[in-house]
Amino acid sequence: MPENQQRSGEELFRDFAPLGSPAVYTRDRCDEISDTVARIRELKRERRAVILAHNYQRPEIFEVADFVGDSLELARKGTTVDADVIVFCGVHFMAETAKILSPERTVLLPDLRAGCSLAESVDADSLEERRDELKAVYPDLQVACYVNTTAEVKAVCDVCVTSSNATDIVEKLPTNNVLFVPDENLARHVQENTKKNIIAWDGNCYVHHQITPEQIERVRKHLPRVKVLAHPECRQDVLDLADAVLSTSGMIGYARESDAQEFLVVTECGLSDRLLLELPEKTFYKSCKLCAYMKMITLEGTLRSLEEMSHPIELDEDVRAGAERSLKRMLELS
C-alpha cells in the first residue's frame, strides 16, 4: 500500500477509513487466488465466456473480469461482447439487464442471493396501481424507473435510467409529470435539477441511505482540502455537502481528471479498491459501508458458475420484450 494512504487512528476514521485492507490478502490466500484465476481463464476460453463485473466487486474479481464498469456501461457492454456466455459478477438486476438486451446469450449469475434493496422495494402490481391513480390526475404522466429494478417492473415503465443519466433522460421525456421509481433519493436529486414535477416512490438503498451529513462534516473538518464525491443514492442532505454527485464510474473519471490529491468516496466500499488499483498516486478515504448483496459474489463462486453453468437467468418472453423497450429507450436517449 502506498505510504500516503497509510494514515490511521484518528477519530475521523470512525466512519471513513483510509484505503487498503492488507490483512485479508495473505501469501496463502494469494496462492489460492492465483490457482483459481488460472482455472477461470481456462474455462472462459473453453466456454467462449466473458466476465462482466460491477465497480463494487472484490479486487480478485477484477483480475478475471473482461470489463468492469457502472450500470450503464455494463448494460451497453453486454450487447457488444463477442461471446456465447456472460458471467455477471454483480447483482441480479444487472445480470437480468444483460439477458434482456442479449436474449440469445447464456447469462449466468454466480449467486442467486445477490439481490438489491432498491429492486425489492417496488413490484409491478403496486406500480401499475399507483401509475393508474396518478394518470387520473396527470394524464401526461410517464414512468421512469431506475435500472435497479426487476424485469417485471421495467416492463411496466416508459423508460429506464441509471445514476449517470437520470436527470438527462427525465429532461428528454415529452411530459412534465414523471413518476420516478424506486429510489426516493435519486428522485429528489433529479427534482433538484429539473423544473418537471417528479413524483417519488419510497424505496432506498440500505447502503447509501445510512450515510449522514454529520459523518461527511467530521471528515471535512479534519481534511479541509478533501473533494467529496457522492453517489446519488445518498440522502439529499449528504448530496448537499458533495463537490460532485456521480455514478461509480463517474467518480473514477472525476478523480483521474482532478488536480486534487485527496478524495472522500461516499459510496459502497468496493469502489475504493478499484480507485486504489487505478490511481495509486492519489489518496482516497472510503466509507465503511458494504453491500452484502454485491459481496455474495466470490472468486470461488465465479469458478463454480463456469464449471456448472450456474445460475442461468431465464425470463418470460413478454416480460423480456417489455423491459427491453424501456431499456432501449434509455440507450437511445442517453
Q: Which residues bind ligand 13P (CB under 6 A)?
A: 55, 70-71, 148, 162-163, 205, 233, 247-248, 268
What character string, x for contact with ligand SF4 (CB under 6 A) and - otherwise, covers 101-140? ---------------xxx----------------------
- Residue whose cell numbers read 423480456: 320
Sequence-ordered alpha helix ranges (H) in the chain: 27-47, 59-64, 71-80, 92-101, 124-137, 151-156, 166-172, 184-192, 213-222, 236-239, 248-257, 270-278, 299-308, 317-333
Amino acid (1-letter code) at residue 317: E
Site map 166..205 versus ligand SF4, x via CB under 6 A: ---------------------------------------x
Question: Among ligand SF4, ligand 13P, none, what binds residue 152 when CB lies within 5 to 8 Å by partner kind?
Answer: none
Q: Which does 297 bind (CB under 5 to 8 A by kind): ligand SF4, ligand 13P, none?
A: none
What 3-state class would DSSP assign to 304? Answer: helix
Element containing residue 144 per DSSP (H, E): strand 142-146
Tell the burial category of 121 from Cβ atoms under 10 Å away from its Cβ (0-12, 13-18, 19+). Answer: buried
Q: How far is the CB of 120 from ligand 13P (least distance, A)?
A: 13
Separation between Cα atoms, residue 214 and residue 166, nearest integer Å: 27
Q: Which is nearer to ligand 13P, 165 or 215 (CB)?
A: 165
* Number of other CB atoms surrounding residue 277 within 10 Å: 12
Which C-beta is closer to ligand 13P: that of 252 or that of 306? 252
Judged by beta carbon distances under 5 to 8 A according to partner kind, the member of ligand 13P, ligand SF4, none in contact with residue 71 is: ligand 13P
Contacting positions for ligand SF4 (CB under 6 A): 91, 116-118, 148, 205-207, 233, 268, 291, 293-294
